Amino acid sequence: MTVDENHSEQSGAEQPQSKGRRKFLTIATSVVGGVGVLGASVPFIGSLGPSAKAKADAADVEVDISSMEPGQLILVRWQSKPVWIVRRTPEILAELTIAEDKLRDPNSEKQQQPAFAKNRGRSLNDEYLILVGICTHLGCSPKHLKNGAMEQYVEGVRNGFFCPCHGSKFDMAGRVFKNVPAPLNLVVPRYHFINDTTVVIGSEAEVS
């Protein structure tokens, strides 16, 4: 037998073994690949559910207002938005009638508040004003001006909100003044009081 013939016989003998080995490797690779795809799909599918942050953002926020001073504004976070709570004094409430002829929507006819807050003070309790602290123009956060600081923008009005981004002005009920970029009053979120010292932002009281 020649060298070439011997090599040919050896090659022929190895062919079934090579084919079998290739088949095994192909199957093994497919199985491993399939497990990898399955493993990768688990975290992806899990990510489709709401995150802990999303759940927290959607939840109601309970706020203790027992230590608020008259005229004070506190800031809380609800649905990733800044929410103001202001304890209004009798003097601040009296100001709401001074410049109503200069307001764009003095009677709150636009739906920027729950039904219970469609009144002059835009509130459930006149003493407490609760607003989403975002300008209705382009989403800036207005500044709270008090103790006469608002008079530089609106004559006779000592307290209010001024947006430094584009000059929009709001009174102490969050009502927008005329001739400014903001088209609507500030938003009043849904809320309810549990008692005299605790307010829940995010939902209205259940009707029994």
Residues labelled as active-site residues: 166
List the beta strands (DSSP E) in the chain.
61-64, 73-78, 81-87, 128-132, 143-145, 160-162, 169-170, 191-195, 198-201
Q: In 3D, which of 208, 184, 199 has the Cα closest to residue 124?
A: 199
List beta partners, residue 95: none
Q: CB neighbours (10 Å) of residue 37? A: 9
- CB proximity list for 62: less than 8 A, separation 6 or greater: 194, 198, 199, 200, 201
Between vectors from CA 81 to CA 76 and to CA 87, what angle results, nearest 5°? Answer: 40
- CB proximity list for 31: less than 8 A, separation 6 or greater: none
Pairing of strands 81-87, 128-132: antiparallel
Length of the chain (residues) = 208
